[in-house]
Amino acid sequence: MVKSVIYSIKSPYRQSMDIVGYTFGDGENPEKSCCIIGALRGTEIQQMAICAQLVDALKRLETKGCIAKNKSVTVIPCANYYSMNIGKRLWTMDNTDINRMFPGYDSGETTQRIADGLFKGIKDYVYGIQMTSFYLEGEFLPHAKIMEIEDPKVTGKGIGENLADFGLPYGLIRKPRPYDTATLNYNWQIWGCRAFSLFTTYTERIGAKSAQTAANAVLRFLIANGILNHSLHKGSHTRVLNEDEIRHVHTRGAGIIKKRVSVGDEVGEGDLLCEIMHPLEGNIIDRIISPIDGTVFFSYDKQLVMERTDIFKIIPFGL
């Protein structure tokens, strides 16, 4: 294992923030096979913890000679501990989001420089995996996602092909929206790297089981792509689908949520998903029912909801 500083930033009142990468695999000038990145935001504690688990696992596997010849893997658990250490999600000083700054700019503002420094260090990998959090607070079924980008450098493989390598129950293909174009994964893909986002159940809390699921998914991916020689149970069968096949269920009224189903539950069309209670008077003001037969894939986990909140996402049963 080689520990190196990928990028470092100076602050006037704190120690410099060193973004540290851990690289596994030896040999002369090995292929840059896979880069795994954890937290870009200060709240992505689960994402950092998954990477920490991976560093620990890869350390042991490397001693046993399990990293394939001429391959290498780099893990960057946390690219924003300045924010993490003070309990902020976005950048400490100006509330910008590092994951909206790629490919970065070396003479730009601080987070543009961080994105640039980081990207220069990681852009040449064959595969990229980012542990990601979602802007809506909620629970997901663990899944991998890739953006559908028409790029000559990424053809040769079907866009959804590697999604099954993680052995997670779902693999999603996303059509990028304009705001995606400044994310790490979009730019990774533009650069010719096959980049995936792994979504785990939680963000700020560490779910031991889901962290283990994610860490195993990464190891399985490394095995499937000949980067790691090791054996691990196969994981789940992966159902690959387009993100827009998922049905979103919105609230109509606002108030306190009383949920009747959880993530992973199978529901039938017409089943009660949740009730909305009047926040001051306690009567039920709305009952939200499932529009389809399917599996609850996402569930909003705040107590209060406003109108039009995406409270559930349901994956229709496969044909």
Partner 1 sequence: MIKTVSTAALPVTENLIIQKNRVENNAGGKRVCIVTGTHGDELEGQYVCARLAKLLSDEKRKLSGTVDIYPALNPLGIDSIIRGFPMFNLDMNRIFPGSSSGSLAEAAAHDIISDIEGADMCVDIHSSNIFLREIPQVRISEQTEKELLPYALKLNADLVWIHAAATVLESTLAHTLNARGVKTLVVEMGVGMRITSDYCEQLLTGILNLLRELGVWSGEAGEARNPVISKDRSVGFVNSDAAGIFIPKTVHGSYVKSGEVIGSVLDPLTGVVVEDALSPCDGLLFTLREYPVVFGGSLLARIMGVERDG
Residues forming contacts to partner 1 in the complex (CB under 8 A) are: 9-13, 89, 93-95, 100, 107-110, 112-114, 135, 177-179, 181-182, 250, 253-256, 279-280, 304-310
Query: Considering the complex, what minimum distance in angstroms separates the CB of residue 206 from partner 1?
Result: 21
What is the signed CA dihedral for 196, 202, 205, 209, rounded to 10 degrees?
-90
- Greatest alpha-carbon pair distance for the chain in Å reads 70
Q: Tokens 């540290």 — which residue?
A: 20
| Separation of alpha carbons 54 and 179, rounded Å | 30
Instruction: Give 285: exposed, middle or buried? Use CB within 10 Å, 0-12, 13-18, 19+.
Output: middle
What are the helix (H) ranges across the chain? 45-63, 81-85, 110-122, 184-190, 208-224
Length of the chain equals 319
Q: Which two tokens stand for residue 254?
A: 């606002």
The alpha carbon of residue 209 and the mean position of all alpha carbons in its chain are separated, in whole angstroms, by 16
- Cβ nearer to partner 1, comparing 159 with 256: 256
CA dihedral sign, ordered 95, 98, 100, 106:
positive
- Cβ nearer to partner 1, comparing 108 with 158: 108
Cα angle 52, 55, 61; round to 5: 145
Give the DSSP letter string of 156-182.
Answer: TS-TTGGGGGG--SEEEEEPPPGGGGG
CA-only gyration radius of the chain, Å: 20
Give the DSSP letter string of 238-270.
Answer: PEEEEGGGSEEEE-SS-EEEEES--TT-EE-TT
CA dihedral sign, ordered 99, 225, 64, 57:
positive
Query: Considering the complex, what minimum distance in angstroms separates the CB of residue 182 from partner 1?
Result: 5
